Amino acid sequence: MKGEIDDGTQDDREFGWGTAATGTMARTIAIIAAEPGTRAAAVGSRDATRARAFATEFGAPCAHGSYAVLLDDPVVDAVDIATPHAQRRHVAELAFAAGKAVRRWRLPCSAPSR
């Protein structure tokens, strides 16, 4: 209501993180989802079997065999993109188009030789 102070609470639903990929870098979902008010919500992979195994390991209730389906999942509020480097931009663009927040991995670059 107008004139009331917003105390920052929205609702009791936890913030749902999705992870795009199931490799080593994707394992940070355990750290991200350990934050108060958050949870591992879904996993997306090009391989549905890998997605299911990863979701089981990290307690995510949903597993998807494609990144597009992951990003269409309403339980996903944000996605951690841990795909191979060549796929990251595409997955990020899909995420933005779906209205998802993105945590995007960047690989360190080495300095050019002189």
Task: Express each pLDDT in 53-90 by its tens digit.
Answer: 999 999 999 999 999 999 999 999 999 999 988 899 99
The pTM of the full predicted model, rounded to 2 decimals, is 0.79
1-59, pLDDT tens digit by residue?
Answer: 344 444 444 456 799 999 999 999 899 888 888 899 999 999 999 999 999 999 999 99
Q: What is the 3-state secondary structure (H, E, C) of 51-113?
A: HHHHHHHHCCCEEECCHHHHHHCCCCCEEEECCCHHHHHHHHHHHHHCCCEEEECCCCCCCCC
Residue-range definition of the domain harbouring residue 91 = 15-104
Is the residue at 70 inside a domain? yes
Is the residue at 98 inside a domain? yes
Is the residue at 44 inside a domain? yes
20-29, pLDDT tens digit by residue?
Answer: 999 998 998 8
How many structural domains does the chain have?
Answer: 1
> CATH number for the domain including 62?
3.40.50.720
3-state secondary structure of 42: strand
Is the residue at 87 inside a domain? yes
Q: What pLDDT score does 112 carry?
A: 56
Residue 1 carries which DSSP code?
Answer: -
